Amino acid sequence: MIKHLLTGICMTALIANSQTIVPAETITTTAGNYSSAEVTNLGIDIDASTSSSDEFDFGPGLGLGTEIGYISDLGESSGTITHTFETPISISEVWLWNGYFSFELNHCTQDVTLTFKDETGEVLGTEDVVFAEADGGDLTAEVMELSTEYIGVKEVDFEISTLYGGNDISIRRLGYAGSGIVAGTEDLTKEQLFSVFPNPSNGQFTIELHKNEFNTISIYNNIGEVVYTADVTGKTGQFSINLEGRPTGIYHMQVVGDTTILSEKIIKQ
């Protein structure tokens, strides 16, 4: 299993728009609910067209309307929110519209353990994440980029362990995004399709394609500019990538096929 402590990474529109949010078939929780704001409200108005820049309002004048999101029973400051999907999907990001009322922002989610499961219930991996405290002036989502893209995810357990104070869980919206359903490769892990090494490196990377299912390799910098692209249609084997003239930091690689888009974070030291 993979365990990481992550902080938020700001994604530009180009990078974020390459990820598509996937609506859940069901949303359940172990943390109780008010009858006027059940946990399923976390998915209201979320569909494939939803962007992380979409705004879901909140404030003292809104009351406990069903359009806002989810608030747990009084005293339920921890618990698990489970998203189950109709078909297995790929997930590389979590989108959280934190906070519920602008005068109770300290009730928002802080420390979370994410557990990704396949159709059989087997755990694909876990990650520990820390979300930022809600800001009354920010109505858009916090995009939490995961350390890898999880493929074949049927269920995600969003286990909340701490809040920024407060005594109940308060969230406007919660969703998961990825490069799309991986058609034809559901039984393969990303590591079985390709690998990149060394990572981190000083700028010299090697990507090895294990299957001839891809057409292009593209790398984006942290402002969404393409810094490398290569045509690999029908090819397998190793390909050298040179970023030595580029600034140090995090880059985002996409390996694209006819029905598959996989993502990987690479780091230049």
H/E element, 191: helix 190-193
State residue 183's pLDDT score: 41
**DSSP, residue by residue, 196-218:** EESSSBSSEEEEEESSS-EEEEE
The three state secondary structure string of 14-48 is: HHHHCCEECCCCEEEECCCCECCECHHHHHCCCCC
The CATH number of 190-268, from 2.60.40.1930, 3.40.190.10, 2.30.110.20, 2.60.40.10, is 2.60.40.1930
Confidence band, pLDDT 50/70/90 cuts, at residue 150: confident
Please count the residues of the chain: 269
Q: Which runs of E-coded beta strand occur in 18-141? A: 20-21, 26-29, 70-71, 79-98, 109-117, 123-130
Domain chopping of the chain, boundaries: 5-178, 190-268
State residue 11's pLDDT score: 31
Percent of the chain with pLDDT over 70: 83
What span, in angstroms and rounded, lies between the C-alpha atoms of 104 and 146? 28
Confidence band, pLDDT 50/70/90 cuts, at residue 223: confident
Asked if residue 109 has pLDDT above 70, the reply is yes
> Which of 163-172, 180-189, 207-216 comes out lowest in average pLDDT?
180-189
Asked if residue 207 has pLDDT above 70, the reply is yes
Measured in whole angstroms, the distance separating CA 227 from the mean position of its chain's CA atoms is: 23
Asked if residue 65 has pLDDT above 90, the reply is no
State residue 12's pLDDT score: 30
Tell which wins on pLDDT, 17 or 81: 81
Which tokens belong to 20?
A: 């598509």
Torsion, Cα 127 1 205 129, to 10 degrees, reads 10
What span, in angstroms and rounded, lies between the C-alpha atoms of 90 and 207? 21
Could you please state the CATH topology (level 3) that the domain comprising 5-178 is classified under.
Jelly Rolls (2.60.120)
Average pLDDT, the chain: 81
Percent of the chain with pLDDT over 90: 36
Asked if residue 149 has pLDDT above 50, the reply is yes
